[in-house]
Amino acid sequence: MDDKFVKYSKLYVLIFLAFLAVPVAFGMVVGSLYGFSKLISSRPVDMFFELLVVAVPAAIFCTAYFIFFKRTKKHPSQTVRGISYLFFIIGIGACLYFLVLDIISFFTLRGHTITDYKCFHQFFLAGNIGGLFLIAILQALSTEKETDWMEKAGRKYPPNNNI
């Protein structure tokens, strides 16, 4: 049987190597991506990547609106459902409108910073996040409270008072 010094020394070395493996693996991934980008670097690939970056905020918010739109069908309150649908339709329309404006400005102005595009403006990002947050709160407050596991267990197994 190994003594405690050897056993804990092995453990410390393994922990150190595990922590060392994280930055080494990260460096290898970044290096391979850099090499891959140099391999396929060309003007069409660069334009595709730039268009992808320009479309990311609108795509993320449209996806979130679509997911919330589908989940709202089961909401018990019709008033909240109507408000939610109205907000989601306005949000999807705004995302598509700003996405089209940004794609047009991408091909005409050729901005080199993301602040040149409307989907990256603070009012667009904060408005969408705040709106989704408010609708989520509105929907959460208008649904009935879920029973927790203790209440479910209490109903399933009533207390025995025959002690």
- Report if residue 162 sits inside a domain: no
- Claim to verify: residue 130 and residue 141 sit in the same structural domain: yes
> Is position 119 within any domain?
yes
Same domain, 98 and 26: no
Domain that holds residue 122: 42-156
- Provide the H-helix boundaries in 73-112: 78-108
119 and 47 assigned to the same domain? yes
The predicted-structure confidence for 93-139, as pLDDT tens digits, reads as follows 999 999 999 999 888 887 677 788 888 899 999 999 999 999 989 88
The answer on 136 and 88 residing in a single domain is yes
Cα gap 4→137, rounded to integer Å:
55
pTM for this one?
Answer: 0.63
- Helix, strand, coil percent content, the chain, rounded in steps of 5: 80, 0, 20
What are the tens digits of pLDDT across the range 79-91?
Answer: 888 999 999 999 9
